[in-house]
Amino acid sequence: MNGGKVRIERIDAYRWRVPRHGGMRTDGLIFADAALMRDLEGDQALQQVANVAHLPGIVGPAIAMPDIHWGYGFPIGGVAAFDEDEGVVSPGGVGYDINCGVRLLATPLAIGDVRPRLRELVDGLYRTIPSGVGASRSDLRLERRDLERVLRDGARWVVARGYGSESDLDAIEANGTLPGADPDCVSDRAKSRGRDQLGTVGSGNHFIEVGYVAERYDTTVADRLGLEPGTVTVSIHSGSRGLGYQVCDDYLDTMLAAADKYGIALPDKQLCCAPIGSPEGARYWGAMNAAANYAFANRQLMAHYARQALRRVFGDDAADRTRLVYDVCHNIAKHETHEVAGRRRRLCVHRKGATRAFPPGHAELSPTFRDLGQPVLIPGDMGRYSYVLVGTEGAYRETFGSSCHGAGRRLSRHKAKQLARSRNIPKELEDQGIVVRAATRATVDEELPEAYKDVARVVEVVHAAGIGRKVAQLKPVGVVKG
């Protein structure tokens, strides 16, 4: 198969190789079935997989998940690991929205209880959690000292102020705080953008979604996670808002200069990077982790506000018994230990539009999940379904413990809006029993279901390839968009 300029070889039904050639230091490895690969014909994301394989210190293949699509530098759905001593860190391998991620709440309510008051609940979520471009909170503007604590402590700072409980921290990747955060590495401009955006969802593909457990594939794990048939859930998809965007933007010129300084040949300037141990790499690392902690705090605070909305509509008991299932990162780089060619090595694993999927028994998982594997939350589009999976040994062996993060776009935002121009997307969704609230029509139009791949196909590739195991399917009934 020829993916434009890039030659692709089929390995099996769910794996494809980009053979090493030219300046590539390793192969590319793409997880997809034949239909998903046909959709990628001529897509620049395939070239981006090959480009990532050029970077110094890369260990194993440059990996792409089945939700792969074009991104800045790395493809979205990209995973790459680098040797701690010889490798690099790249903002393009993390993304602009640092620690964009998903948080899943399980309520004690059944879908039959919620449907009669669904519109009231969605309206309550829309009023309680600010959304849209530049959304801010008038009730929470952080003083500089508090913001710096958020950047260091993440979700723990929010819980300490009464917005949630200690048990929430147990159900967040890295317990909601990444080490190595350095607020001094975050610019004043980035801090200014973050001061009044904590507890806001933002715009684009970010959302608050009310759903319910429609199917269960592993009843034992689903029961342990509190996902009984018909259970109503609330999903929160957001990240580090303007602060994280600014951190990425601030460091691009720094990393371009560093690549030149250290003699790193770049096949694409968007892959600008610095050696992990360099001063430039260390400063980006401190800023990236600080932004990631802001994102953890942001989702923690939004979960508190979601409980407030539930409280107003369904009472104290419903709100108090709403529990956090899990919270995952999608855009992050982390230092981890992995076995490579029979030897344990310390690596810097970039996951951009990819979810960590550690297997049962992994020491980094909290005791609550250690015998299950790490929960993997995969949102789809607002008209179909989302999925809960758990990590596997297969993922740990083959993808550095990584899985996909969503459906993946198949249409640009511009093309999606063109397709939606003559239609009433909110009315179409309402006819399916899905209530939508959004700041603007444009946001809904560019996020119409057809703009995304069918996440069921994406998840089936993950499950069949053994890099994740299906637990439950969630169907949406209410969506808040920016």
Residue 22 has a CB neighbour count (10 Å cut-off) of 8
Within a 10 A sphere around the Cβ of 394, how many other Cβ atoms?
18
**69 belongs to the catalytic site:** no
Amino acid at site 347: L
Q: Which two tokens stand for residue 368?
A: 């609550």
Strand pairing of 274-275 and 88-89? Answer: antiparallel
* Pair of tokens at residue 302: 């939004």
**Measuring CA to CA, which residue among 13, 37, 63 is closest to residue 351?**
63
DSSP state of 385: -
With tokens 């965007």, the residue in question is 245
End-to-end CA distance of the chain: 39
Cα distance between residue 287 and residue 246, in whole Å: 10
Of 54, 237, 362, 405, catalytic:
405
Half-sphere exposure of 474 (CA within 13 A, CB side): 30
Segment holding 209, helix H or strand E = strand 207-216
Beta pairing class for 2-3 and 6-7: antiparallel
Q: Is 162 exposed, middle or buried (0-12, 13-18, 19+ CB in 10 A)?
A: exposed
* Packing angle, helices 241-261 and 279-314, rounded to 10: 170
Q: What is the DSSP letter of 202?
A: B
Question: How far is 236 from 406, CA to CA, in rounded Å?
Answer: 13
Cβ neighbours around 189 below 10 Å, total: 14
The answer to whether residues 123 and 437 touch, using CB atoms and an 8 Å cutoff, is yes
Instruction: Give the catalytic positions in this structure.
Output: 405
